[in-house]
Amino acid sequence: MGLAPAVQGDNAASLRIKPGPILLLGAPGVGKGTQAKELMARWGIPQISTGDLLRDNRDHGTALGLEAKQIMAQGKLVPDELVNQMVAERLKLPDTFDGYILDGYPRTLGQAHWLDGHIGTVPRALPVIAISIRVSYTQLLRRITGRRNCPVCGSIYNIYLQPPKVDELCDLDGTPLARRSDDTEEVLEERMRTYGLLTAPVVEHYRALGRFEEVDGEQPVNEVAAGVMAAVARLRG
C-alpha cells in the first residue's frame, strides 16, 4: 500500500520509529477515523476497534457475542473482563507486534489499568501513548449540522465549509440535498456528554503518566496528520 498523500511530505524520521500501541481519542466528528487511516498507511499497523470485534462476535454467535449482544443493544458498556479477554486474544496476532491503533478501547479506567498491566508482561512491548484530537464545540457543530448528502449520487457537502454551488442542491445532478436525522445539535450534545463522561478518566490516566498529547484538529487534514505524527515521535522519543 502506498503512503497516503497527507503523510508523504512529512518528516521521514517518524517512519523509522516503532509506533507501538497508539490510543486515538476524540469526540464524535473530530476526524479520528481519517487520522487512524493515515497512521495505518504510514506504519502498516492495524486498527483495533473493540466495537467492531464485539459486532463480529455477535454476528458469528460466539459465546462472547451472545453475552455481549443484549448489553450492546442497550448502548451500555460490556463488562471489562469480557472486553479485556477479547483484546488479549487480538494482541496475540503478529500484525500487532510493531504497533496498533486503539479505537474505542480502553474506555474505562479499569480497562486502561488492565491494558497497561498486560502490555507490561509482553517482552519488548512499548507502553500505550494517547493522542487526543481537539476540535472546538462551535466547529463540531458546524461540521455536523452543516453536513448534507445527495440521496441519488452520494456526494457529500457541508453548507458552511464546502457548500454546493446552488443552495441545498447537488452540484452533479441537481437533486435536493438530504440531512441525516441524527445530525442535530441535541444529538451532538448527548454524544459529547457521553464521550466526556467515559473518556475523561482515561485521558487523566495517560496524562498523569506523561504519555498524552493533544493535537489541534481544526486545521486541514494534512496538517492534523503531521501534528499527530509529530506527537507520536515526541512521545516515543
Residue number with CB closer to ligand AMP (85 or 136): 85
Residue number with CB closer to ligand AMP (58 or 147): 58
Helix 63-73 crosses helix 80-90 at what angle (to 10 degrees)?
Answer: 130
Q: What are phi and psi of 102, to 5 degrees?
A: -90, 130
Verify whether residue 193 is a known catalytic residue. no
Q: What are phi and psi of 156, to 5 degrees?
A: -110, 135
Identify the active-site residue in 42, 58, 143, 147. Answer: 147
**Alpha-carbon separation of residue 74 from 78, 187, 218 (angstroms):** 10, 17, 33
Identify the active-site residue in 32, 58, 143, 148. Answer: 32
Residues near ligand AMP (CB under 6 A), total: 14
86: left (phi over 0), alpha (psi -120 to 50) or beta: alpha
Give, as ranges, the residues between 65 and 124 that touch ligand AMP (CB under 6 A): 71-72, 75-78, 83, 104-105, 107, 111
Return the residue of 23, 24, 48, 54 that touches ligand AMP, per CB under 6 A: 54
Verify whether residue 148 is a known catalytic residue. no
Verify whether residue 234 is a known catalytic residue. no
| Cα angle 194-196-198, degrees, rounded to a multiple of 5 | 65
Q: Interface with ligand AMP by CB under 6 A: which residues?
A: 50-51, 54, 71-72, 75-78, 83, 104-105, 107, 111
Active site residues: 32, 107, 147, 180, 191
